[in-house]
Amino acid sequence: MKETKHQYMQYYPKETLKLVNDVPGARQWAVSLEQTMLTYFEVDPNCRFESHSHESEQITMVMEGVLYFEQGGNVIGVKAGEAIAIPSNAPHAVFTTEAAVKAVDAWSPVMDKYRTSEP
């Protein structure tokens, strides 16, 4: 059996998980494999990700604060300890109000926008 780098676990010590700027007021880091990705976001108060869609399915879990998801006039506030699942190609906007938010996202397939290099 031929071995490839993809057969081995990849460890990311905390010091390698560097926050980089995303939209104004939001920073993130990401780790990925071939088909799955995890991103961590820190989002400032009164920040907005304008309406967008992507091929990747997205599951977001809020760790701190309340993150608001808007779709077709509906707004859902996802609180710390809660999650939201967004299907592929579903248009949505995301925003914060007066409090900062920390959240993690799981993606499949991997979002090229957030793809990382090897640790």
The predicted-structure confidence for 30-73, as pLDDT tens digits, reads as follows: 999 989 999 999 999 999 999 999 999 999 999 999 999 999 99
* Structural domain harbouring 60: 21-113
Task: Identify whether 83 is part of a domain.
Answer: yes
Confirm if 95 and 32 have CB atoms less than 8 A apart: no
Tokens 């760790």 belong to which residue?
63
Task: Identify whether 14 is part of a domain.
Answer: no
Q: What strands, in cross-sheet order, belong to the sheet with 66-71?
A: 48-52, 92-95, 66-71, 74-79
Residue 51 CA to residue 49 CA, distance in Å, equals: 7
Res 1: pLDDT: 44
Task: Identify whether 118 is part of a domain.
Answer: no
- Give 73 or 7, the one with higher predicted confidence: 73
Confirm if 25 and 47 have CB atoms less than 8 A apart: yes
The predicted-structure confidence for 61-109, as pLDDT tens digits, reads as follows: 999 999 999 999 999 999 999 999 999 999 999 999 999 999 999 999 9
CATH code of the domain covering residue 84: 2.60.120.10
Domain count, the chain: 1
Task: Identify whether 13 is part of a domain.
Answer: no
Task: Identify whether 6 is part of a domain.
Answer: no
